A and B are shown apart, each in its own frame.
Chain A
Amino acid sequence: MALQQTVGKRVGMTALAWIVGFLIFFPILWTFLTSFKSELDAFSLPPKFLFFHWTTENYAEVQSRSDYFSFAWNSIILSVGANLVGLIVGVPAAWSMAFAPTKRTKDLLLWMLSTKMMPGVGVFAAVYFIFQYLGLLDNRIGIGFLLFMANLPILIWMLYTYFKEIPVDILEAARMDGASLVNEIIYVLTPMAIPGIASTLLLCIILSWNEAFWTLNLTTSHAAPLTAFIASYSSPEGLFWAKLSAASTLAIAPILVLGWFCQKQLVRGLTFGAVK
């Protein structure tokens, strides 16, 4: 009886999980399918699910009309670069807050988080004019700096929670062994925190990769990442669903693949602090 109940429950939960998973995944699947349709099939009502004429002409068209690899390269440089720099700032910051806290550390952490609560558009004009004045519009350094700053609070928070789990004894042992602060961080803290640092970096790269507000508004071509590549297909001349889908698929493919391979790390990252 009890066994039946648990089996029933497990089947039910599994089915539910698959349904929820499918619902979440469906838009991506639909985009993927649409990218292989002709523009006509893409519009057709009722929509065609699998039985249409498969074609790769959208991909060819997209590649010939705009240089995918240049956008993709910008995405990689910006999201990876900005967050690597973020680590250089974030690791020491998180170290000091986790292992040498003062009375105000908690306030500082909350304040950092509060900056994420402000909508970016609220300071758009100011940032735009500053960038214009400094000649940073459509500049990799400029937009990279912005992405770095935008992620810094989250990056430090995540590192902080990971570092909190490291026994302080071990760092003190390093100090007693004559390690300078820098050596303590490089040779003792960082290797122990590698899983935490990796999932922090991964999550932040995904956030930067998907960041659309600033990248769309502050770049045009030279420094434009894949978000701009997608946007360029929802043009005023009319919607080209199939080509837009092809562009979207191309834009999300790299991060999807990365996420797939790093699933374990990511789940740990998304539920950070949830379990001790």
Chain B
Amino acid sequence: MGSIELVKVRKDFGGFAVINGVDLKVEDGEFTVFVGPSGCGKSTLLRLIAGLEDISSGQVLIDGKDVSRVGPSQRGLSMVFQSYALYPHMSVRNNIAFALKMAKQPKDVIEQKVKKAAGILNLTDYLERKPRQLSGGQRQRVAIGRAIVREPKAFLFDEPLSNLDAALRVQMRLEIGDLHQSLKTTMIYVTHDQVEAMTMADKIVVLNKGEVAQIGSPLELYNRPQNLFVARFIGSPTMNIATGPSAAKRGATTIGIRPEHVDVSATAGEWPAKVRLAEHLGSDTYVHVEVDDIGPMTVRLGGEAPNQPGQRIFVTPQEPRIHRFDQQGLRVGG
């Protein structure tokens, strides 16, 4: 079991609210991702759940029990740090076994659990090595091994992959996904990479300046962003934004349309535009255009598109795909 609930959680650092009244429920077994720009309070929120920081007000509940005043060692959660934070003076074996030793488990049980974790994470050949003798990916695996042996109520990850190169990051992302599939333990994962968030999460919590901007499944966030902040933050390339007459005629202050939901024509359409640059990715082409009276937009076209810089074209948003926002930046209508 491992459900986690936050009730009106606040954290001040020197009178300044870094986490400002967060309400959140993470169901047992769920893979939840905290995402948001740098400095929005993701790490702080995770550390509040872990107990590494004291909350200023509000409540943290694990399995329905208030643990707000319980220390990190008593909460039964595991954490994987961005810096790995391995014990440098201990072998891989002892790093993984440390939590079990602290829990005073019998020697043969420890031996067996370490072996099993090492097997899952491909670390069997490295058990006698010290952390400094390992590569970045291996260190990250040790950190994960250290977290899984103690069978925690939930795993907390704070940007665990950000020190790895791109290829390794994709591989570890899959491994963590597999791990979640097989363990079915609650996981909370912090990242500022929205691709990581979209691909891994059951549920995404978008944070902005210490407040929850929206909570939902990846597709909910993609299809129905509740405000401009989420609309801009989720999706790559970023959503195109337009204000003025074309928004007003649709009953909104601001409208947004994703690059993949814009049609292009050489002869007719809603917005006349000039092509600035076409990025050919092979599978897709990103055409960057300058729309008259509105500004820059990105259009995503499947396959190869023949557009040349300087060319004049017309772009038209697909009507049902338009997102409308009011003066406060909140979603209007369905």
Contact between chains at A172 and B72 (CB < 8 Å): yes
Residue A62 lies at the interface, judged by CB distance under 8 Å to chain B: no
Contacts of A179 in B (CB 8 A): 73, 98, 102
Residue A262 lies at the interface, judged by CB distance under 8 Å to chain B: no
In the assembled complex, the CB of B115 is this many whole angstroms from the nearest CB of chain A, namely 18
Per-residue B-contact encoding for A65-108, CB less than 8 Å = 1, 0 else? 00000000000000000000000000000000000000000000
Contacts of A173 in B (CB 8 A): 79, 81, 85-87, 146
Contact between chains at B89 and A176 (CB < 8 Å): no
In the bound assembly, the distance between CA atoms of A167 and B82 in angstroms comes to 12
Residue B150 lies at the interface, judged by CB distance under 8 Å to chain A: yes
* Residues of chain B in range 78-92 having any CB-CB distance to chain A below 8 Å: 78-79, 81, 83, 85-89
Residue B50 lies at the interface, judged by CB distance under 8 Å to chain A: yes
Contact between chains at B85 and A177 (CB < 8 Å): no
Pairs across A and B, CB under 8 Å, 13 listed = A167-B85, A169-B81, A169-B85, A170-B88, A173-B79, A175-B71, A176-B50, A176-B79, A177-B73, A177-B78, A177-B98, A183-B102, A192-B87
Contact between chains at A176 and B87 (CB < 8 Å): no
Per-residue A-contact encoding for B64-76, CB less than 8 Å = 1, 0 else? 0000000111100
In the assembled complex, the CB of B201 is this many whole angstroms from the nearest CB of chain A, namely 22
Specify the chain B residue showing the minimal Cβ separation from A193. Answer: B89
Residue B120 lies at the interface, judged by CB distance under 8 Å to chain A: no
Q: A172-B52, A192-B88, A192-B89 are in contact. Are A177 and B99 (CB under 8 A)?
A: yes
Q: Which of A167, A175, A178, A188 has the most CB of B within 10 A?
A: A178
In the bound assembly, the distance between CA atoms of A180 and B79 in angstroms comes to 16
Contact between chains at A188 and B87 (CB < 8 Å): yes
Q: Which 4 A-B pairs have the closest CB atoms?
A: A169-B85, A177-B99, A173-B85, A175-B72
Contact between chains at B52 and A177 (CB < 8 Å): no
Contacts of B103 in A (CB 8 A): 178
In the assembled complex, the CB of A105 is this many whole angstroms from the nearest CB of chain B, namely 15
Contact between chains at A169 and B77 (CB < 8 Å): no
In the assembled complex, the CB of B136 is this many whole angstroms from the nearest CB of chain A, namely 16
Contacts of B50 in A (CB 8 A): 176
Given contacts A173-B86, A173-B87, A178-B102, 10 further A-B contacts (CB under 8 A): A170-B85, A175-B72, A176-B50, A177-B98, A177-B99, A178-B73, A179-B73, A179-B102, A180-B102, A192-B88
Per-residue B-contact encoding for A166-199, CB less than 8 Å = 1, 0 else? 0101101111111110010001100110000000
Contact between chains at B85 and A175 (CB < 8 Å): no
Contacts of A178 in B (CB 8 A): 73-74, 99, 102-103, 150
Q: Which of A167, A169, A177 has the most CB of B within 10 A?
A: A177
Interface size class on chain B is 20 to 34
Count, chain A residues at interface, CB 8 A:
17
Binding site for A on B (CB under 8 A): 50-52, 71-74, 77-79, 81, 83, 85-89, 98-99, 102-103, 146, 150
Contacts of B71 in A (CB 8 A): 175
Specify the chain A residue showing the minimal Cβ separation from B77. Answer: A176
Per-residue B-contact encoding for A242-275, CB less than 8 Å = 1, 0 else? 0000000000000000000000000000000000
Contact between chains at B73 and A175 (CB < 8 Å): yes
Contacts of A175 in B (CB 8 A): 51-52, 71-73
Contact between chains at A169 and B83 (CB < 8 Å): yes
In the bound assembly, the distance between CA atoms of A180 and B98 in angstroms comes to 12
In the bound assembly, the distance between CA atoms of A261 and B77 in angstroms comes to 46
Contacts of A170 in B (CB 8 A): 85-88
In the bound assembly, the distance between CA atoms of A169 and B80 in angstroms comes to 10
Contact between chains at B98 and A172 (CB < 8 Å): no
In the bound assembly, the distance between CA atoms of A170 and B78 in angstroms comes to 13
Contacts of B146 in A (CB 8 A): 173, 177
In the assembled complex, the CB of A184 is this many whole angstroms from the nearest CB of chain B, namely 8
Per-residue B-contact encoding for A181-219, CB less than 8 Å = 1, 0 else? 001000110011000000000000000000000000000
In the bound assembly, the distance between CA atoms of A179 and B73 in angstroms comes to 6
Contacts of B89 in A (CB 8 A): 191-192
Specify the chain A residue showing the minimal Cβ separation from B90. Answer: A191
Contacts of B79 in A (CB 8 A): 172-173, 176
Q: A177-B99, A178-B102 are in contact. Are A172 and B150 (CB under 8 A)?
A: no
In the assembled complex, the CB of B46 is this many whole angstroms from the nearest CB of chain A, namely 11
In the bound assembly, the distance between CA atoms of A175 and B73 in angstroms comes to 5
Q: A169-B83, A183-B102 are in contact. Are A176 and B72 (CB under 8 A)?
A: yes
In the bound assembly, the distance between CA atoms of A168 and B213 in angstroms comes to 31
Contacts of B150 in A (CB 8 A): 177-178
